[in-house]
Amino acid sequence: MEFGISIIFLILLYASPIAAVKESSEFNEELYVRPMANGLVNTFFQFTTRWHYGDRENLHNTQLIPRPIAETLLLYDVKELHIGLTQGLWRYETYGYPVMDNAPGAEVRAWFAGENLTSTDVDDQWVKLASTFSGILCASLNFIDKTNSVEPKYSFRPQFVTGSKANIPQFVRYASLPREIVCTENLTPWKKLLPCNSKQGFASLLNSGHVHNTNYHSLGMKMRTICESYNKNCILEFTETANMVYDPKLLGTNGDFSLRRLFGQGLNGHCALAKSSKIYVNLDDQPYDLTPTPMYNVTSRRGGSTTTLGVYDIQRLDEDKFFNIAWINKKTKANVQITPTPPLYAHRYILGHGQERGQILTQITNKHYAALPIVLQENIPWFVPSYMHTLKLIVQPENGAEYTIKPRVMHYIPGVQRLRPYHLELLFEIPALSTVQISFDFDYIFLKWLEYPPDANHGHYLGSAIITTQLPMGRNYTAIPVDKHLFADSFNASRSSYFLEIRTESLILSLPTPDFSMPYNVICLACTVVALAFGPIHSVATKRIVVEQKDAQPQSLKGKVMQKLFRRKQNKTDTNTNKAEAHAETVFGHSIADVKQ
């Protein structure tokens, strides 16, 4: 348990001393370009707006922060919000670690905190919050509800500060929609949240035609509040990120690239509202010559690794010309670059064949020379009934025989069909230089026919598993420290350990699917007709028909009266029956044969 606590231990945020009560806001735009070892290029945009709004009432008058963002703070008790819209998969083994990690599809997580806040309130607010951002980003976040949301206990830690001395209840919610397809319709509203829109500054580089031609692109949005005391003297931090991986080979070049090649146009200056507009270029062992050369270089030492970055300050440039940077391959191509393997990476896949039983296997590999603490979170949808008694953790060392281990802490909330997903969190230590396979069995089930999505034979998606750990060294690590907000703050930001979040692939599961084709409909219809016909035919076939002569008139007085009464009643209720019919009925009533069994 101690181990668990150490993982979830909150890093105290050193909220920058809030001296002036006067409200102020600043906006920074940053672009980080990192050519990767296998010829790919990673570009990372970060637009940070930091607003020292002071008290809650000031949220009504926004300047640089988009109004809907400020309003969510007024409406809900949300203190921190992360949204990721991603197309493609970040491949840790070849790309290294990203600045901001997101799972394929859409992913949302939020922290709520407030006095007298209960879990039911949060559930309600969570759905509303998701719907709000569904509208803001034109994404299907409105499909987030209780059936696909979980409440992680160990995986995430808050990055906001309420500033309160008292113990204010905090809640976290997480949901992912792996089927979500990210497209232009998400990029445009995302760009509109920026102070300069997409007309000026770095955002003008994000043209949908080029963004969606990448191997990976991920739009991120992060919002958090940092308060000195509860709801007093607060800062709202709103960060928008765009992370992309380009393949210059697909752009039709021999490996050279430039800003114009990547984004379709050069940079048309900076956003006039920005405090700083800088491009950072990774210069480590690059086989490229840069034109123009960086204005100045920065060396960052972090966790035992050194990185050199070239900096272009766009605000110092001429406004009139389009600015372009070109990376041109050096003539000497003697040394082939080898990708340094990151210390930790993970994969996930489904095993087994047939439509009866399967196995979900998560494979985490530790290439580090020391053991690492791991928190694994699995969020399994309700339509995948999993058996936790089959949960196995098998360690496969690089040299030596495999053995099983037991998780230190296990947090498991079994799913309920159509109500709640299966949520599993495991805390364990992954031994040095080894692979851990976490596997459990599940059943394939039939769904109700309305629960199949359109294109039912495409399969059902299972969201990524999230693995969090603390790395002792900073190799491959570029994330921004939790107490800072700019990308530039990650330079020389050595800490005792580095909090790392990685995600596995999302999976496609082919559940048994009925044949939703025309013959299927015909079969359904035919079966219905047969079912309807069966009743009467069965009854006719099994009942004996006995003809019984009815007496012309009932004998007793009581009988006569009853007969008259009954007839009259019938006439009254059925207004449409005309008298002639009624007459006919009385006339022919005598000879009606009773059908008796």
Partner 1 sequence: MGLLSDPSLTPRGKFGRTLAKHSGKISLFFYIAGLAWFVCLSHPEFSHGTYLSENALSPGLVDPEIGQDSVRLAQTLYEELQRERTDHKSTTPHAWIAAKMHQIGLETHVHNFTLRYPFSAGKEYHGKNVYGILRAPRISSTEGVVYTAPYRAVNSVHTDITASVPMLLAFADFARKKNYWAKDLVFLVTEQEQLGMHAWLEAYHEGGIKDSPILRCGNLPARAGALQAALNLEIQDLDIDYIDVKIEGLNGQLPNLDMFNLVQRLTSRSGLSSGYKHTPRKKRRSNRDSLEDNLRHMVEMLKSQATGVPNGNHGLFHRYRIESLTLEAVKRTTNTNNSNRYGTALSLLKTVEGISRSLNNLLERFHQSYFFYILVQNDRFVSIGDYMPCLIALASPMFIKAFLLWLTTTSADDAAPEEEDTATHEERLPMHLPYISVLLYMVAALLLGFFCNTLPYSQHVRDYFNSMGVSTQWSVGLILAAQVLLGILLPLFYTLPEAGLELLHIGVLIFTGVALIVTGLLNFALGFILAVIISPVTILLQSEHVNGLRQKLTCIYTFLLNPMVVIYLLVLWLTLFEFPELALKDMAVRAISASLDAITYGLMDSIIYGNWLYTAIAAIYFPLWILYWTLALGRKSYAVTVDKKLN
Binding site for partner 1 (CB under 8 A): 38-39, 86-89, 91, 94, 104-105, 213-216, 247, 249-250, 252, 347, 349-353, 359, 361, 437, 439, 455-459, 461, 505-510, 513, 515, 517
Tokens at 376, concatenated: 């694994």
Dihedral sign computed on CA atoms, order 131, 135, 140, 141: negative
Asked if the bond preceding 152 is cis, omega within 30° of 0, the reply is: no
Residue (164 or 510) nearer to partner 1, CB = 510
Residue (353 or 448) nearer to partner 1, CB = 353
Q: How many CA atoms lie within 13 A of 179 on its CB side?
A: 17
- Min CB(246)–partner 1 separation in Å: 10
- Min CB(355)–partner 1 separation in Å: 8
Which amino acid is it at 464? S
- Min CB(520)–partner 1 separation in Å: 11
Helix (H, G, I), strand (E, B) or coil at 83: strand
Residue (508 or 545) nearer to partner 1, CB = 508
Tokens at 13, concatenated: 């945020």
Angle, CA 214 vertex, CA 208 and CA 219 arms, to 5°: 60
Residue (42 or 132) nearer to partner 1, CB = 42
Residue (38 or 61) nearer to partner 1, CB = 38
Strands 170-177 and 149-150: antiparallel
Residue (127 or 462) nearer to partner 1, CB = 462
Tokens at 569, concatenated: 């009643």
- Min CB(505)–partner 1 separation in Å: 5
Question: How many Å apart are CA 54 and CA 559, to the nearest integer?
Answer: 90
- 72: which DSSP letter? H
| Contacts of residue 480, Cβ cutoff 8 Å, sequence gap at least 6 | 99, 486, 487, 489, 490, 493
Q: What is the 3-state secondary structure (H, E, C) of 309-353?
A: EEEEEHHHCCCCCCECCEEEECCCCCCCCCCCCCCEEEEEEEECC
Question: How many Å apart are CA 178 and CA 507, to the nearest integer?
Answer: 9
Question: How many Å apart are CA 381 and CA 177, to the nearest integer?
Answer: 10
- Min CB(500)–partner 1 separation in Å: 20
- Min CB(455)–partner 1 separation in Å: 5
- Min CB(499)–partner 1 separation in Å: 24
Residue (142 or 396) nearer to partner 1, CB = 396
Residue (213 or 231) nearer to partner 1, CB = 213
Asked if residue 308 lies in contact with residue 299, where contact means CB atoms within 8 angstroms, the answer is yes
Residue 4 CB-density burial (10 A; 0-12 exposed, 13-18 middle, 19+ buried): middle
Q: Which value, in Å, is the radius of gyration of the alpha carbons in the chain?
A: 33
Question: How many Å apart are CA 200 and CA 203, to the nearest integer?
Answer: 7
Cα–Cα distances (Å) from 160 to 71, 173, 221, 375, in that order, read 18, 15, 15, 21
- Min CB(250)–partner 1 separation in Å: 4
Residue (496 or 517) nearer to partner 1, CB = 517
- Min CB(213)–partner 1 separation in Å: 6
- Min CB(319)–partner 1 separation in Å: 34
Question: How many Å apart are CA 170 and CA 192, to the nearest integer?
Answer: 31
Residue (105 or 201) nearer to partner 1, CB = 105
Strands 276-282 and 24-35: parallel
Question: How many Å apart are CA 511 and CA 151, to the nearest integer?
Answer: 26
Residue (214 or 282) nearer to partner 1, CB = 214
Residue (135 or 340) nearer to partner 1, CB = 340
Residue (2 or 455) nearer to partner 1, CB = 455
- Min CB(1)–partner 1 separation in Å: 31
Residue (416 or 445) nearer to partner 1, CB = 445
- Min CB(341)–partner 1 separation in Å: 12
- Min CB(51)–partner 1 separation in Å: 34
Q: How far is CA 498 from the centre of its chain?
A: 23
Angle, CA 190 vertex, CA 110 and CA 461 arms, to 5°: 60
Asked if residue 96 lies in contact with residue 342, where contact means CB atoms within 8 angstroms, the answer is yes
Tokens at 468, concatenated: 């969090």
Question: How many Å apart are CA 145 and CA 127, to the nearest integer?
Answer: 6
- Min CB(459)–partner 1 separation in Å: 7
Give first-to-last CA distance, the chain, whole Å: 74
Residue with the two structure tokens 């004998």: 555
Residue 542: count of CB within 10 angstroms of its CB: 8
Residue (240 or 505) nearer to partner 1, CB = 505
Asked if the bond preceding 292 is cis, omega within 30° of 0, the reply is: yes
Question: How many Å apart are CA 249 and CA 108, to the nearest integer?
Answer: 33
- Min CB(539)–partner 1 separation in Å: 19
Which amino acid is it at 179? R
